[in-house]
Structure 1
Amino acid sequence: MLILVAILFIALGTAIKYGKMYFLIAGYNTMSEKEQKKYDIEGIATVFRNAMFGMALIMIIGYLISKWLENPKIEVFVLFGAIMIGLPYLLIVSNSGKYKIKKDK
């Protein structure tokens, strides 16, 4: 099960970054076109890809450790741990002013 979630995260990260499926980014698709131009969507997509890949990597490593130690409870802790680390990172970094395009007037 954990491997399937990791594969899903990899697929989502790839779809957002390389498939340019920006509509998967909450809030971006509801902005007007004028508002969307105020953001560096390529940079935000890179953050999403990196966060998704990072969470997937943690899950895959946790899965392998749980199989090696023969303790399936580790998978649950790793799943929630990856999400508890990845989601705040994703939200904080993508909502920082770093990806807002500043226009000098």
Structure 2
Amino acid sequence: MILTAIIFLVVAILIKNFKLYDLIAGYNTMPDAEKATYNISKIANLFAFVFYGMAAIILIAYCFSKWLDNEKIGFVGISLAILIGIPILLIKFNSKAYKNNTKKE
């Protein structure tokens, strides 16, 4: 469980601080012309924020599972982090808020 939270933290840091935008699935396979239509710095902020949140949920669930000596709480924490984080990323990433201002067609 801790390893999962660490992976989320490392990926968030790599995307946000080290600008490894190719770690973002979908963005790395876009042609350069399509990449230019997205505001990647805003997307990187979104990814980092969501990944930090997911890591926090997992770590809190881990602490509760150790405190209450119940491993099911850890499983619920990982499940909750994924079930909340992934839809937020998908919905927000595909919104117009993360596209550069382009001419209307």
Task: Answer whether TM exceeds 0.5 for this pair.
Answer: yes
Give yes or no for the alignment of 1:77 onto 2:76: yes
Question: Mapping of 1:1-105 within 5 angstroms?
Answer: 2-104=1-103
Shift of 1:3: 0.8
Identity of aligned residues (%): 47
Shift of 1:104: 4.6
Shift of 1:103: 2.7
Structure 1 residue ranges without an equivalent (≥5): none
Instruction: Tell me which stretches of 4 or more aligned residues in structure 1 moved more than 6 Å.
Output: none
Q: Which has the larger displacement, 56-65 or 95-104?
A: 95-104
Q: AA paired with 1:86?
A: G
Q: Which amino acid is 1:78 matched to?
A: G
Q: Where does structure 2 lack aligned partners over 5 or more consecutive residues?
A: none
Query: Deviation string for 1:13-51 (max 9, x for gaps)?
Result: 110111111111111111111111111000001000001
By how many angstroms is 1:102 displaced? 1.4
In 2, the alpha carbon distance for the partners of 1:62 and 1:79 equals 8
Provide the rounded CA distance (Å) in 2 between the counterparts of 1:70 and 1:27. 40
Amino acid at match of 1:9: F
Q: Report Cα offsets for 1:77-104 as digits up to 9, x if no partner.
A: 1111110011101111111110111135
TM-score, structure 1 normalization: 0.94
